[in-house]
Structure 1
Amino acid sequence: MSRSKIIDKGDLTLAQLNRDLWLQVDTNLLTAEAKAVYLKRKEAIDHYVENEKSQAEIYNLTGVDRKNLIRLYTRCISYDPYGVPWGYRGLIPNKKLKPYELNPRSRKFNESRKTGEFALLLEKHPKISDEIENLFFGRKKLSEPVMRPKYIHKKFVDKCKELEIPRSEYPFNTEHLGYRALCRHLENLRDKHFGKASSRYGHDAEQKAKNSGIGQQNYPRTITPYQDVEFDGHRFDGIWVITIKTLEGDDAVLTLDRLWVLSFIDRATDNIIGRPHISLNKEYNATDVMIAAKKAVMPVQKMNLTIHGLSYQPTGGYPSERFKDIEWAVWDVIHFDNAKSHLAEMVRERLRNLIGCATCLGAVDKPMRRPHIERFHQTLTSSSMQRMVNTTGSHPEDPRRKEPEKMAMRYEMTFEHLEEILDVVVANYNGTPHGSLFYNSPLEALEQRLNKGMIPRLLSETKRSEFVFTQVEQPRTVRGSHKSGKRPYIEYMGVEYRNDLLANSAHLLNTKLSLHVNVDDLRTIRAYLPDGSEFGLLVAAGKWCLTPHSLQMRKAINILKRKKLIHFTQWDDPIFVYHEYLLTQAKTKKKRVANHIAKTKQVMKKREEEKNSDLDESLAAEQASISALEKAREQQAKLQTAKANTPTSHRRFKTITRW
């Protein structure tokens, strides 16, 4: 064979022809004898490719004859299993470049040796190979999800019998019926199909194997604060309780269903950019997402701690608390997964029109695309929640899980305590040095970036209201009638809304208004005319305007009223009636009802706090009117009671007739 037929072959690629692209060999790892042989071979190949010496001269210099030279060069330009030319690696003495293949027709064939028989069997019977792979990777619906090798071997033998392989042939002519060869084949399958094989070790391993560690790893790192943030919800690994007063006046402790914590983290500095939101719902919804966003944007103030010994670190805190220049700071891009609450219309509309950010939805079931928030939740769980006596652990068999419900009730680990603990843990997290930040704390890293002029975008002052975060737009028609004498009103979720202006605007009857509804507080609704001008704030009728309540709570009350499970008049506060109903149900449905009771306690607590604050004029006027009506009603009731208790005397008059 001439040299030109090897080197100048038209189908050779640049990776095969260019020796600079060949993978090298570390000769220090070879034995002295193997190193000497390798160096002679390398010298011969270099002369052969450079075309400076004849094959006779190459033989005189290196001892590599023509036949061996062609064989070695063919090894160098052949491809390895990964599609890369072997290059200089093909010159290593005794290196096998391709797996052993049994050839029964060869003169060297030894019937006593079974090497290669298994591979030959699979090549001859592809159905056996398919059966083994299906069982190993759990592709068959009726098979075990993770079948062990000894059970795969049993199926392998059954398949061989099904194909009527003679008992005198492999695998029936071996001592263990090919079991050891099958195990080696399964190991090769595991190594060759890493992602698929990882499913045998659990869902988490499969996720990481299929979605990380491959492709371009040098992604550009975000260094500008608030340029990219990540959001996600995490289920608390612990049981908490609430204390209630029963209708009989006794104290009782109820366990809550497991709660959710919702957090925002800055990719550039690893700061948790606002106080995390705790959701009492079974699954957090779109309203919870926007409440968490509101807490991330609005300035944060430290809580008044009631737990003895619990304190904030001097270096900890929140970005808006430590740096006044970035109060009301907002982000440019938000990254989260495809949870239904993230895809809700309210979330997408508020993020686009209020925050003014772009949304990056991660692929389904790929948490590694949001590594910062996932790592924070892992740290939060391992360093705090799973160290408490009320922890549920990471799985049912976790040794740290020791009757969490009893422990939570025994030590009265209440929901209020959870709020304080979570706030302190997160604030201290922001002040703790991180290895990824070269042992700067997130707050220190943020301070350095701010000093370099990397100031994030701030929310417009016209939008700095806590109500706009949970606001949705709903069209409603003005109702009313001259015939019945009912003044104009708007009905939303079974409750009438009006103000003095609407009550005297009969010309708006049957006109469709645009309502801006705060789904977290339905006491008031802001109305806009069809031309876009603001009409004013409409207030809920009756005592619906007294206690803050969400859309979800309003729906629950309406359902119970429709089923005639609760009843209230215009003189009753529906939220308190709903709370009393939940207390009656707490005896039988503890966990499910306890979360609802906790939510009603929150809104009633908010009402108490609002008594000392300035309310909106319309809301304050309506509440003052209700208060005056209540006093008048109480006064009337007292008068009626006094009148009923006053003894009555009857005079009898006698008629005298005079003649």
Structure 2
Amino acid sequence: MSREQAQKFTAYREAIQLYFANESVENIARQTGVSRYKFARMAQKCLQVAPDGRIYGFRALIPYIRTSPYERRAELKGKRQHQQGGQAGALGAVLARFPDIEDELVKCIKQDSKLKRIPEFKLRAKDLHRLFIQCLKMKGVSESEWPFNTQYLGLRTIQKYMIYVLNENFTKSVMSREGPTAKAHMNVGTGHAPFLSFEEPYDAVEIDAYRIDAHLTVAFQTPEGTETEVLLDRLWLIAAVDRASTAIIGYDVVYRSEVTSDNILKVIRDAVTKRWQPMAFTVPFHYPPEGGLPSGVIPEAYGAVWNLLLLDGALAHLSHAVHDRVRKQLGFVISWGAPGHFERRPNVERTFRRIADDIFKRLPSTTGSNPYNGRAPDGEAKALRHKIRADEAEQILEVYVAQHNVTPCEGISYLTPLGYIRHFLDNQRSGFVLRTLPEASKQETHMFSVTEEVTVRGGVKDGRRPYIQLDRVHYTSPVLVELGNLIGEKLLVEIDEDDMRQIRAYLKNGAELGFLVAKGRWSTTKHSRRTRKAINSLMSKRILVISEFDDPVRVYLSYLSTQHQQHSTSPLPRKQATNATRVAKESNLPLKIVRSPGEQGENAIVTDRFLIPTSNRRSLMDKEPPTLRMVKNRR
């Protein structure tokens, strides 16, 4: 306001203060210079209720402020169609003339489920205008009256009126008209302090998954010794972010079409028990000074456990493995958020957005946030042409995470996330105590293992030494084979689902029997339980035929590395290549393209769906056995 208006407002405020202090009218007028005839009217304006629900108070004394809506008193005169001006307050005059029309318009704008007359979602202004014109015609408004004597029949006035009504009922308008993103934003910026406040490191940790917005490839070795690029399914990134410091304490890139509970467990296990170490780069990258994850940079943070885990309603987060095994073993509380309410995990969502904007959406193979926003043309072809490989993307992500943890953040007074954690650890007066695992638990390699009850099998009559069966594979040990008295008894086995080559067995009374090793070649190559079940499924369908001389994991990887579709332009389907990459990373095996059955030489065993090469297998027979078809057709 101008200087003159400010002086007038000061005089009005002083006059009202004296007026409500029961000073005499003559003294107030003499002291402030305000006319005594204005005091009662100003007092009434100050006591009126404002649209925000409070009284106007001193706001009503601001010069030229309106405490009541404008009301047109002059009659609406006729005007030419393109004539401008002279129609102020026309809509208010019409609504005052026909109050039932205003009630009808407000009901339609609010879209009240009990009162709305138009059963459509998010009513448009032009539809409301059509209803308004119909109501006026039913009331008998002539063509020479407003709005029929205007160029657009009052459309713009109805648009402004609709915005006014929506803003007056802001919360209800958002909840009834807008999508889940707008509804989620309603819970922030309310002016009230949050119910849960996290100010110390590791008070709460947010975990979520983000589908990488880019097409990536992987390199397969060909039978000729060269390399070929194969497209992968879009990968996932899972991250664990500390709520108070915003530090990334663990992450993992998932080579699957969907995230499973195994991936969530791996991120939690790595964040708690794995000491971070720098990655060996194959591209010219360098870590920032003192950058990395807290478990490797800050010695006290190794083995640290948080108090509250914030998850969303994804199926992987709701699994029994997460809410039962992990919660009980680490002793934290889990809080699941409602679906679509990303505001409960602001740090991890913000981290994913920055990773997408700074890395993946800058690639020539980006998919953008949706098909209509930021998608690069011919992204798949560019991924193959430029060899945008997943392993190099992981290295870029590793450097980005290390850089994130040493970048000053405005939300924590321009401290770095790692510096924020160090501040609480070094400040003994703060009373901060970091909860960590015991030293024995830090070295535990089978954290979050599964315990199951199995039966010892075998028999003296058949000469079968004692063993147990788990997922169609026999397990035994030099100790168990000598304990014939355990045949038919129950044992408890502790299973590390990331490495099924051996399990730990216990008697029912708690006595340990040691490790039981898988029989045959199942104990050769590391594999997960999910991979074991996938192999068993293919074997039951007679797609894979595995002898006792074959390594099942290598045969499965060869199956995934074989093109089973004829006349395909790609060496491998994307889903098949993604599974092959996951198994290769899991078992530390190289990726090699295997020729299809039609391209194999004579030195191969042919099955219905898959060929198992025999060049490295020594036969126990003097000559090659006849094929089954020749024996069957022999007369």
Q: TM-score, normalised by structure 2?
A: 0.80
Q: Structure 1: which amino acid aligns with 2:401?
A: V
Q: Which runs of 5+ in 1 are unaligned?
A: 1-28, 103-107, 609-632, 643-659
Number of the residue aligned with 2:52: 82
Number of the residue aligned with 1:596: 579
Give the secondary-structure state (helix, strand or coil) at the position aligned to 1:213.
Answer: coil
1:115 deviates by 4.4
Number of the residue aligned with 2:229: 253
Match of 1:224 among 170, 175, 200: 200
Number of the residue aligned with 2:498: 520
Give the secondary-structure state (helix, strand or coil) at the position aligned to 1:602.
Answer: helix
Q: Structure 2: which amino acid aligns with 1:501?
A: V
Give the secondary-structure state (helix, strand or coil) at the position aligned to 2:351.
Answer: helix
Give the secondary-structure state (helix, strand or coil) at the position aligned to 1:413.
Answer: coil
| Stretch deviating more after TM superposition (468-477 or 164-173) | 164-173
Number of the residue aligned with 1:568: 546
User: 8 Å contact 1:471–1:517 — kept in the other structure?
Assistant: yes
Q: Which runs of 5+ in 2 are unaligned?
A: 78-86, 592-615, 625-635
1:549 deviates by 1.6
1:310 deviates by 1.5
Match of 1:583 among 556, 561, 564: 561
Q: Structure 2: which amino acid aligns with 1:560?
A: L
1:524 deviates by 1.9
Match of 2:468 among 479, 490, 509: 490
Match of 1:447 among 422, 425, 445: 422
In 2, distance between residues paired with 1:585 and 1:196?
56
User: 8 Å contact 1:354–1:463 — kept in the other structure?
Assistant: no
Give the secondary-structure state (helix, strand or coil) at the position aligned to 2:106.
Answer: helix
Match of 2:437 among 442, 456, 459: 459
Match of 2:92 among 102, 110, 116: 116
The 1:245–1:538 alpha-carbon spacing in structure 2 relative to 1, beyond 3 Å, is same
Tell me the matched-pair count: 577
Q: Structure 2: which amino acid aligns with 1:472?
A: V
Give the secondary-structure state (helix, strand or coil) at the position aligned to 2:318.
Answer: coil
User: 8 Å contact 1:231–1:265 — kept in the other structure?
Assistant: yes
1:598 deviates by 0.4
The 1:463–1:353 alpha-carbon spacing in structure 2 relative to 1, beyond 3 Å, is farther
| Stretch deviating more after TM superposition (590-599 or 189-198) | 189-198
For 1:305-454, list aligned pairs within 5 A.
Answer: 305-307=281-283, 309-398=284-373, 401-453=376-428, 454=432
Deviations 1:247-276 (A, max 9, x none): 7877432101111111122233332223x2
User: 8 Å contact 1:547–1:607 — kept in the other structure?
Assistant: no
| Stretch deviating more after TM superposition (152-161 or 518-527) | 152-161
1:552 deviates by 1.9
1:241 deviates by 1.0
User: 8 Å contact 2:215–2:365 — kept in the other structure?
Assistant: yes
User: What is the root-mean-square deviation of aligned Cα atoms in Å?
Assistant: 3.7
Give the secondary-structure state (helix, strand or coil) at the position aligned to 1:468.
Answer: coil
Number of the residue aligned with 1:277: 252
In 2, distance between residues paired with 1:56 and 1:221?
55
In 1, distance between residues paired with 2:174 and 2:536?
50
Give the secondary-structure state (helix, strand or coil) at the position aligned to 2:186.
Answer: helix
User: 8 Å contact 1:547–1:603 — kept in the other structure?
Assistant: no
The 1:121–1:372 alpha-carbon spacing in structure 2 relative to 1, beyond 3 Å, is farther
In 2, distance between residues paired with 1:257 and 1:607?
19
User: 8 Å contact 1:333–1:358 — kept in the other structure?
Assistant: yes
Question: Are 1:500 and 2:478 matched, yes or no?
Answer: yes
User: 8 Å contact 2:109–2:123 — kept in the other structure?
Assistant: no
The 1:594–1:207 alpha-carbon spacing in structure 2 relative to 1, beyond 3 Å, is farther
Question: Are 1:49 and 2:32 matched, yes or no?
Answer: no
Number of the residue aligned with 2:104: 127
Give the secondary-structure state (helix, strand or coil) at the position aligned to 1:281.
Answer: coil
User: 8 Å contact 1:291–1:469 — kept in the other structure?
Assistant: no
Number of the residue aligned with 1:545: 523
Normalized per residue, which structure has more helix?
Answer: 1
1:448 deviates by 3.3
Q: TM-score, normalised by structure 1?
A: 0.77
Number of the residue aligned with 1:206: 182
1:398 deviates by 4.3
Question: Are 1:301 and 2:277 matched, yes or no?
Answer: yes
In 1, distance between residues paired with 2:446 and 2:99?
68
In 1, distance between residues paired with 2:285 and 2:471?
43
1:455 deviates by 5.7
Give the secondary-structure state (helix, strand or coil) at the position aligned to 2:581.
Answer: helix
